[in-house]
Amino acid sequence: MVRSSISARLASIGAATLLIAGLSAQAAPALAASPGHPTAVHQAAPDPNIQLGRSGTANVKKLALEPKQKLPFNPAVVSSTLDKLEAPAVTGTHPDVVGPPDPDPETSSGAAAAATPVAATGHTGTVTPDPSIAVGPDEVLQADITGLEIRDRAGNSLAAAVTLPTFFGLPELGGFTTFFSDPRVMFDALHQRWIITEMSWDCATYSGATFGHGYLDYAISDTADPLGTWTSTGFEWPDFVPVRPAAGTSTDKLALTTSLFAMGAGGSPTTPGCASGALTGSEFVVVDWTDLGPSFNQANVHYSAGGYASLDAIRVAVQQPVVDADLRLIGIGNGATAGHIWYTDVTGSAVHHTVTESVDKDLTADGIVPGFGTPAPPTQSGGGGTLTTAIDGSPDSLIYSGGKLAFTSTTPCIPTGDSVMRDCIRVTTLGSANAGVEPTRLGDVLLGTNGLDSSFGGIAWSGNGVLTAVYTSSSGSTFASSVAQYNSGTDPDAWSAPQTLTAGSATYTGTGWGSYLTVATDPQVPTAVWVGDPAANGSGGWTTTVHELSVGDVGAGYTPVTPTRFLDTRFANGLSGNFNAGVPRTFTIGGASRTPTGGPTVTIPSNAVAVTGNLTVTQQTAAGYVSLTPTPTANPSSSTLNFPLGDNRANNVTVALGPNGTLSAVYKAPTGKHTALLFDVTGYFTAGAGQTYTPLTPTRFLNSQPGTLNRGQTTFHANVSKSVPI
């Protein structure tokens, strides 16, 4: 790992000052007022304080082999410091806002409980779990205050957990400590890259800081393999702490959001108390994917940053899948619009200095949805009677898919059949097919259970459109447990009955239960989402369980299977030896069996007519493409996977099988070149009723070059969408 020194950090700060000066010269555009509410306008202003932070590289597999380093600070002290910092912003700042119709109480859909094909014991800790999870084609990442761990899809650990300070190389030089919190992970299926974010700070006064420095750190895997190398960097605010960070991506941008608190007196170089000031608003930073290639150089990263003094918090949506260039954000207002729900759309490019807000709307003032409420501390059995006092009504999980934007928050409500005000999970769904216009209300529902507090919710859509919510359930007579419910999408108010995933077994004695929980869409299995849900354990702390939740049915004609490798030419699985350029080869899928690591044998029936799977290329000696076809052809009409030299690259496919249950592949590259190929099967189709598959000869339906089958389309320009008739 490359660790930043004080001198190196100061050098990078100087370079960043020049860079941000160029970007900030372009003032943020004036925003139009919401109709009839001229006082409700807020505007993002360029932030002159932001600077590029430290940078480095890491390899999880190598770090996991080193002796595990103890955190250079007491996590309980760090958690308590953040709780005290946020408490004034939590209490009484976000009153219930009335006007639009209230959220609806949930109704019963009568659906069966979700299946849990994977339930592996995850991390264990004592303070602030804040569990985050991400899922890719082959691996599952879990991150929380205890560290980062990588698992296979059966739940088996692939590398020992690595602490985030070790991973990010947080410096412990010059007699000061760098504190960290709030790690989050995500997988961008479009770019095939993993992303980790965290916030950190120190109470050192070098470089002109009066109290210390706050950092918003992020790391991106150089390839789709999380066990490989990562590049890390971040942003720095002298005398400000970025709290509760979040990240989201679009087709061309990465965005980081946070709430900024001013630093103050009370800390020292080895204690975290300088995080003691007042909330100053929220902040977003935008970076282009074109600057974030493998092993990117942070000195060449362009970024655009802006702050909202009128928003206490702001979140950027996680796209599932990544299909849109716009970044959708939800914020919570303060001052004259305290508690109001704001919607913002961010477009443009940081590289070209064109990042702007195309729309900025107060959804509460405009009568679409009521504002966020202020929940009471959730109760638990034993201890002081409450699970935590560090809870607010801000937006937690925020996701976008298929024209719909949804988010969760904890809010007060009286559940059906109850007479006492409890904490409930509010799930708000907005229509946002066109990010550049104000969204509409599709659903606003309260998930609450008689006699119980429901708090800290996360949501995700599975590939078949089912929305799953996971949250904490507790009461004065029960311990903190994790619970799941799901909605099939036909009626936004109709949810399955609460399903206990992991039951709490004792009183939680830590200072804060957490501020978020993430649920991840499975990019391989269309019925599945994943979560690392926490529950109170017998040691006064918490234990997470890594659950795969299978929700709904994809049709009688399709059967998902545990992702299983049916071809790996590196190890004579299916075929032995490399694919040589221009030479098609055939391997058997239908009627074949394989036994994945840690799982039962998977057999693809001989009557399967098509399969879904993941095609991966590695060890290629030249750039080119591979075509996966039912029958062998040396000159295919289309490509399945295009790739450069020296990159492990994968693509999800649905492909018909040949008449004997076979598939064929050909590597198109200069003569004499070769490559290894891998193919993982994730499901199969059989003939009959249900969601079946009809194969066609691969045919090009669009080529925008002049004189071709362009269907009236000309050259496509960046960030300009077009519709093509198929």
The pLDDT of residue 690 is 52
- C-alpha separations of 583 from 121, 363, 510, 637, 648 in Å: 46, 59, 62, 15, 21
Q: Which residue has the higher pLDDT, 388 or 478?
A: 478
The pLDDT of residue 298 is 87
The pLDDT of residue 21 is 24
The number of C-alpha atoms within 13 Å of 383 and in the hemisphere containing its C-beta is: 24
Residue 501: partners with Cβ closer than 8 Å, 6 or more residues away? 116, 119, 470, 481, 482, 483, 484, 531, 533, 535, 545, 547
Q: Which helix H or strand E contains 449, and what residues bound it? A: none
Question: How far apart are alpha carbons 512 and 535 in whole angstroms?
Answer: 13
pLDDT at 724 over 50: yes
- Burial label, 28 (beta-carbon count in 10 A; 0-12, 13-18, 19+): middle
The answer to whether the beta carbons of residues 473 and 450 sit under 8 Å apart is: no
pLDDT at 331 over 90: yes
Question: How far apart are alpha carbons 515 and 238 in whole angstroms?
Answer: 24
Model pTM?
0.75
Residue 385: partners with Cβ closer than 8 Å, 6 or more residues away? 379, 476
Residue 9: partners with Cβ closer than 8 Å, 6 or more residues away? 53, 54, 171, 207
Question: How far apart are alpha carbons 428 and 103 in whole angstroms?
Answer: 8
* Three-state DSSP state, 336: helix
> CA nearest 611: which of 543, 544, 681, 660?
681
The pLDDT of residue 452 is 97
> CA nearest 622: which of 598, 642, 595, 602?
642
* Three-state DSSP state, 244: strand
Instruction: Calculate mean pLDDT across residues 707-722.
Output: 72
The pLDDT of residue 36 is 28
pLDDT in tens, 44-103: 677 777 887 778 888 777 777 777 677 888 888 888 888 888 876 654 444 555 568 889
Instruction: Calculate mean pLDDT across residues 471-493.
Output: 94
The pLDDT of residue 44 is 67
Question: How far apart are alpha carbons 369 and 377 in whole angstroms?
Answer: 24
pLDDT in tens, 193-249: 999 999 999 999 988 899 999 999 999 999 999 999 999 999 999 999 999 999 999
